[in-house]
């Protein structure tokens, strides 16, 4: 089942079960997708809609924003709002691919470096682009960048 269909089915189920917190988060996801589709049309983009990879990018961005908000709320002493953000993160992550653990990330980095024959820091852009293509939504590319840099310097 494609990602868009899963989101629609989950929204219907949340409506039926009257799970308002889940329904609210799923509607936020739908709104973000609609915004991106409208922006794509304005840019002369594809009329067919967004691919699953585009949807995963949107969901990943939502998770990152919620994590930053939760951290800000915790630092500000607003624990109830931080908890709400954490619950939203869990719901959004249900629709993302499984996150790779540290060992799997290291293995993926090593595989891409060897596949591309990357040997210096100049190859970092190519390595990161290939990692994004192969593992979209499965790792935090901000953290992976440091790992790639260290791997290429040694």
| Interval 61-84: pLDDT, tens | 898 899 999 999 999 999 999 999
**Which two structure tokens, joined as six digits, stand for 38?**
């409208």
Instruction: Specify the fold of 3-93.
Output: Hypothetical Protein Yqey; Chain: A; domain1 (1.10.1510)
Every domain of the chain and the residues it spans: 3-93, 102-153
CATH of domain 102-153: 1.10.10.410
CB 91 within 8 A of CB 25: yes
Global pTM reads: 0.71
The confidence score (pLDDT) of residue 46 equals 56
Per cent of the chain over pLDDT 70 is 96
The confidence score (pLDDT) of residue 96 equals 85
The confidence score (pLDDT) of residue 48 equals 60
Average pLDDT over residues 125-142: 84
Look at residue 1 and give its three-state secondary structure. Answer: coil
């Amino acid at each position: 089942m494609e990602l868009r269909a899963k989101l629609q089915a989950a929204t219907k189920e949340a409506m039926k079960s009257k799970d308002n917190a889940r329904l609210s988060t799923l509607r936020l996801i739908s709104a973000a997708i609609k915004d991106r589709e409208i922006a794509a049309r304005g840019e002369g983009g594809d009329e067919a809609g967004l691919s699953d990879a585009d949807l995963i990018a949107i969901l990943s961005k939502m998770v990152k924003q919620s994590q930053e908000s939760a951290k800000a709320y915790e630092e500000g002493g607003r624990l109830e709002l931080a908890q709400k953000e954490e619950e939203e993160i869990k719901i959004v992550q249900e629709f993302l691919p499984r996150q790779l653990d540290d060992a799997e990330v290291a293995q993926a980095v090593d595989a891409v470096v060897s596949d591309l024959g990357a040997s210096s820091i100049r190859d970092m852009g190519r390595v990161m682009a290939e990692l994004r293509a192969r593992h979209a939504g499965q790792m935090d590319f901000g953290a992976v960048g440091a790992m790639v840099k260290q791997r290429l310097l040694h």
